[in-house]
């Protein structure tokens, strides 16, 4: 399955052009390696209203199956991505965040304080990933095997095909 993706970097400094974005390009490279396509790319400041507005517009655009955000998932006062996404989401998928943190813990002791996760809006899956390039890609890798199945379910393709156990 080819997945149409949007990559949204959430950062005041990257959106203002005072800092180069490294996480967005790292995610784009991983998306390409997975055989998926990047249909949209944007930079948004750490502002809940701006995040909600940008993600709503992307999710409501039929060609985007998956939105990957990077940034704003920590615990600092400016980290508001999970709240912004939650305000526009239909559902949260808690297991994605749990898996991302569990896998991330293998690389860094700080993984448990990430508030990254997964949400749905219509037929779009939205992942909120950490702002570091490594954290964003590692988190995506942790859940990548689940993404096409969730997208199928969101599009009403609910037949479950058993994969052989190893």
Residue 166 lies in a domain: no
How far apart CA 124 and CA 4 sit, in angstroms, is 10
Report the CATH number that the domain containing residue 126 is assigned in CATH: 3.40.980.10
pTM of the complete model? 0.93
Q: How many helices (H) and strands (E) does the chain have?
A: 6, 6
Residue 11 lies in a domain: yes
Residue 161 lies in a domain: no
With 70 as the cut, is the pLDDT of residue 125 above it?
yes
With 60 as the cut, is the pLDDT of residue 114 above it?
yes
Structural domain tally of the chain? 1
* pLDDT of the residue at 61: 81
Where residue 130 falls among pLDDT bands split at 50, 70, 90?
very high
How far apart CA 127 and CA 49 sit, in angstroms, is 18
Residue 159 lies in a domain: no
Residue 116 lies in a domain: yes
- The arithmetic mean of pLDDT across residues 53-80, rounded, is 93
Cβ atoms 104, 111 nearer than 8 A: yes
Where residue 2 falls among pLDDT bands split at 50, 70, 90?
confident
Residue 127 lies in a domain: yes
Residue 27: both structure tokens together: 């995610």
* pLDDT of the residue at 159: 80
Element (H, E) at 149: helix 133-154
* pLDDT of the residue at 164: 56
Report phi then psi at 58, rounded to 5. Answer: -65, -45
What's the DSSP call for residue 159? Answer: P
Q: What is the domain range of residue 137?
A: 4-154
How far apart CA 105 and CA 64 sit, in angstroms, is 30
* pLDDT of the residue at 51: 97
Residue 165 lies in a domain: no
């Amino acid at each position: 399955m080819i997945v149409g993706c949007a990559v949204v970097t959430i950062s005041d400094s990257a959106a203002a052009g005072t800092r180069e974005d490294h996480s967005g390009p790292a995610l784009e490279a991983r998306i390409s390696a997975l055989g998926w396509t990047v249909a949209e790319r944007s930079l948004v400041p750490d502002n809940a209203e701006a995040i909600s507005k940008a993600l709503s517009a992307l999710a409501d655009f039929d060609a985007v199956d998956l939105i990957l955000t990077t940034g704003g998932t920590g615990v600092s006062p400016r980290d508001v991505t999970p709240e912004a996404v939650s305000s526009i989401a239909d559902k949260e998928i808690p297991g994605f965040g749990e898996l991302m943190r569990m896998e991330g813990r293998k690389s860094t002791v700080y993984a448990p304080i990430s508030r990254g996760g997964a949400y749905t809006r219509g037929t779009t899956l939205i992942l909120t990933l950490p702002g570091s390039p490594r954290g964003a890609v590692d988190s995506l890798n942790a859940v990548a095997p689940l993404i096409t199945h969730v997208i199928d379910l969101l599009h009403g393709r609910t037949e479950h095909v058993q994969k052989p156990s190893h």
